[in-house]
Amino acid sequence: MPDIIQLLPDSIANQIAAGEVVQRPASAVKELMENSIDAGAASIKLIVKDAGKILLQVIDNGQGMSETDARMSLERHATSKIRTADDLFRLRTMGFRGEALASIAAVSQMEMKTRLPNEELGTLLVVEASEVKKQEPVACEKGTSISVKNLFYNIPARRNFLKSNGVEMSHITEEFQRIALANPVISFSLIQEDELVLDLPAGKLSQRIVNLFGKNYQTQLAPVQEETSLLRITGYIGRPELAKRKRGEQFIFVNNRFIRNNYLGYAVNSAYEGLLQENHFPFYTLFIEIDPKHVDVNVHPTKTEIKFDDERSVYGVVWSAVKQALGSHNLSPAIDFTADVNLMSKVSNQPLSREQYYDEQFSTLQRSNLQNWDKLFEQESATSKLFEKTEVSQKTTVRLESSINKPEEVSVPENEKGIFQFQQKYIVRASRSGVLFIDQQAAHERILFEKYLLQLKGVPGNSQQSLFPQTLSLSAPDFALTMEMEREIHALGFRFEVFGKNTLLISGTPTDVHGSEKELFEGLIEQFKKNQSELQLPLRENLAQALAKRASIKAGQKLSSEEMEAVASSLFACNTPNFSAEGSPTFFTLDSSKIENYFTR
């Protein structure tokens, strides 16, 4: 039998590596900018065209490379940062695997210009799909300039999977923001389609936050600073009133590397317990400095997921540091920082063991929870017991995603006079087969969803003009996303125009929608992004659902008889009255035969 196993050519191996390292244009931005930081650059410029599909260019004034180093940087597993396996546990630089440039060059047309500070001429390299087309001396500035053109041009399938320009530009701007936050002593600039979008001078972290997210952050930040024998934490947290419905302004850096860690994010959110509205998330930018031997960053190709050797102790320090910052800056109720709730004094002497951490951190919480169980059961209402006996409350939630538009037949109830509101959540009325219970929020969301979807499909909604137009400053990613959907947002009834850098002037909102123009518009964008990350809906359905969610009647809102009648009649005029836009039931009927069972002897 002939041998069938063979080594892959380097070009194919690089393309396979690129599939993990370079998932989209933002991935290439991250790798190139991190290389510039490792090169000691004091100034970094990012140039983007067509959301990175035509051009991504990173220019820095770092130390540059020699001709040999420039050529070697394009080889797989070629790196200046690793000599032995032990070096993996002492890493403080960003890029270290030696995969980034080789992977990017494998799926693009790359041009590199680089020069050492003490050399008169630099080196020019032109590479296409891992093949070096040109290498020659060139006159250029000191440092390195790398242009990535026509990303994924040789992998059409990957290119076809890229999202719209607005979405891809949003990802690029997010990566740019993270790197800029982590390095406030470096100046950064972002140029999109020949327009300067962000110009960030070198300075303090607080100045960098304000330059990135807006002037309203100037008075909304509280510093966090704590040092123990295990780690050191610095950074800023936002006041509770600055919290937003959408995650996205939460940043944790470990040894100056942005990471995603739900466990530590939960530690911060727990410190805010009792201070935030439901489903709101606080702003925070926290830097954790810890001995690299306690961290493994080599667990994912993008290096954003890491492991701590004692994650629970890190959790405890983060929680306590944020809690202390909230208390010391009058952002939370008074806290006794001499009690066991503060772990600082213990951790500063020696790291907590896992057993100590759980004993000291959660014992009080466990005792209080046990004491509250009896109260919980005492508050059980007679109504709840009724529904338990009848077994009519079915809590199954149906996720329909895009199929929510399919018409569905339903038995329309008779228009009886008796109608009332129960617990300011449900509309109750008689029907032919029993008693009808309508979830007022879910029902109104369905009604508005179908209304807005119709407007987006060609029947634009009316707009009510504002007496006093409001300005709204957005982050660069949100502004780019808004301009990408400008036509659709106008169709919903919003009226706005560009009013400066990343700023809109809102002069009109959809009719029959009440509330602040600024809050409604900002809520629409936040809800759209939330849907985008969770539901994967088409753009129109996403926008219609997002506005319906924000503009609908809420649970707890008292309704008049006329309003209840309007909701009930409008619901059963919908194509799909049975479910909300998210797929949860809008109503159920308590059958008269089950009611009769209670009175049958």
Q: What pairs with residue 420 in β-bridges?
A: 428
Rounding to the nearest 10 degrees, give the CA dihedral for residues 37, 39, 32, 19.
-110
- Extract the tokens encoding 322: 């944020």
DSSP string over 426-476: EEEEEETTEEEEEEHHHHHHHHHHHHHHHHHTT-PPPEEEEEEEEEEE--H
Q: Which helix (H) or strand (E) holds 234?
A: strand 231-238
Q: Which CATH class is domain 211-360?
A: alpha beta
Q: What is the pLDDT of residues 30-46, one digit of tens each?
A: 999 999 999 999 999 99
Given a cut of 70, whether residue 335 has pLDDT beyond it is: no
Task: Tell me what pLDDT residue 371 has.
Answer: 44
Q: Which of 284, 283, 211, 230 is nearest to 253 (CA)?
A: 284
Distance CA 312, CA 264 (A): 9
Task: Tell me what pLDDT residue 464 has.
Answer: 86
pLDDT band at residue 389 using 50, 70 and 90 as cut-offs: very low
Task: Tell me what pLDDT residue 79 has.
Answer: 57
Asked if 433 and 416 touch (Cβ cutoff 8 Å), the reply is: no
In a 10 Å sphere around its CB, with 0-12 CB exposed, 13-18 middle and 19+ buried, how is residue 172 labelled?
buried
Give the percent of the chain with pLDDT over 90.
31
If one counts every other C-beta atom within 10 angstroms of the C-beta of residue 57, the result is 18
3-class SS of residue 213: helix
Q: What pairs with residue 55 in β-bridges?
A: 49, 149
Distance CA 38, CA 64 (A): 11
Question: Which of 232-246, 442-456, 532-546, 571-585 is the least confident region?
Answer: 532-546
3-class SS of residue 543: helix
Given a cut of 80, whether residue 338 has pLDDT beyond it is: no
Distance CA 114, CA 38 (A): 15
Average pLDDT over residues 61-80: 82
Given a cut of 50, whether residue 398 has pLDDT beyond it is: no
Q: Which of 280, 286, 323, 288 is nearest to 209 (CA)?
A: 286
DSSP string over 487-530: HHHHHTT-EEEE-STTEEEEEEEETT--S-HHHHHHHHHHHHHH
C-alpha distances out from residue 412 to 83, 377, 450, 587, Å: 75, 38, 18, 12
Better-scored residue on pLDDT, 261 or 57: 57
Given a cut of 70, whether residue 331 has pLDDT beyond it is: no
Distance CA 456, CA 487 (A): 9
Q: What is the pLDDT of residues 563-595, one digit of tens each?
A: 898 898 899 888 888 888 888 889 988 888 888
Instruction: Indicate the domain borders of the chain.
Output: 10-203, 211-360, 401-590
Given a cut of 60, whether residue 325 has pLDDT beyond it is: yes
Distance CA 482, CA 445 (A): 22
Please, what's the largest Cα pairwise distance for the chain?
A: 103
Task: Tell me what pLDDT residue 11 has.
Answer: 63
Task: Tell me what pLDDT residue 49 has.
Answer: 94
SS3 content of the chain, % helix, strand, coil (to 5): 40, 25, 35
Task: Tell me what pLDDT residue 299 has.
Answer: 52
Given a cut of 70, whether residue 330 has pLDDT beyond it is: no
pLDDT band at residue 385 using 50, 70 and 90 as cut-offs: very low
The hierarchical CATH code for the domain 10-203 is 3.30.565.10
Distance CA 550, CA 570 (A): 18
Is the pTM value of this prediction over 0.75? no
Task: Tell me what pLDDT residue 499 has.
Answer: 86
Task: Tell me what pLDDT residue 477 has.
Answer: 79
Given a cut of 70, whether residue 121 has pLDDT beyond it is: yes
Average pLDDT over residues 362-389: 41
Task: Tell me what pLDDT residue 357 has.
Answer: 41
Q: Helix 165-182 and helix 476-484: axis angle, to 10°? A: 180
Given a cut of 50, whether residue 211 has pLDDT beyond it is: yes
Task: Tell me what pLDDT residue 593 has.
Answer: 83
Asked if 29 and 172 touch (Cβ cutoff 8 Å), the reply is: yes
Q: What is the pLDDT of residues 458-503, one digit of tens each?
A: 778 888 888 888 888 888 778 888 888 888 999 998 999 888 878 8
pLDDT band at residue 165 using 50, 70 and 90 as cut-offs: confident
Given a cut of 80, whether residue 15 has pLDDT beyond it is: no
Q: Which helix (H) or strand (E) holds 251?
A: strand 250-254
Question: Which of 6-20, 60-74, 163-177 is the least confident region?
Answer: 6-20
Q: What pairs with residue 471 in β-bridges?
A: 505
At residue 179's C-alpha, the angle toward residues 21 and 295, to 5°, is 70
Q: What is the pLDDT of residues 411-421, one digit of tens each?
A: 444 444 578 88
Distance CA 101, CA 73 (A): 7
Asked if 436 and 468 touch (Cβ cutoff 8 Å), the reply is: no
Task: Tell me what pLDDT residue 516 has.
Answer: 79
Given a cut of 80, whether residue 82 has pLDDT beyond it is: no
Distance CA 560, CA 552 (A): 16
Given a cut of 50, whether residue 386 has pLDDT beyond it is: no
Distance CA 199, CA 177 (A): 12
The hierarchical CATH code for the domain 401-590 is 3.30.1370.100
Task: Tell me what pLDDT residue 59 has.
Answer: 97
Asked if 33 and 179 touch (Cβ cutoff 8 Å), the reply is: yes
Average pLDDT over residues 119-126: 95
In a 10 Å sphere around its CB, with 0-12 CB exposed, 13-18 middle and 19+ buried, how is residue 548 labelled?
buried
Q: Which helix (H) or strand (E) holds 110?
A: strand 109-115
Better-scored residue on pLDDT, 327 or 385: 327
At residue 503's C-alpha, the angle toward residues 497 and 507, to 5°, is 40
Mean pLDDT of the chain: 79
C-alpha distances out from residue 467 to 464, 470, 508, 516, 524, Å: 9, 10, 9, 12, 21
Q: Which of 540, 529, 519 is nearest to 449 (CA)?
A: 540
Average pLDDT over residues 340-363: 42
pLDDT band at residue 1 using 50, 70 and 90 as cut-offs: low
Better-scored residue on pLDDT, 21 or 584: 584
- Three-state SS sequence of 113-171: EEECCCCCCEEEEEEECCEEEEEEEECCCCEEEEEEECCCCCCHHHHHCCCCHHHHHHH
- Extract the tokens encoding 267: 């530690």
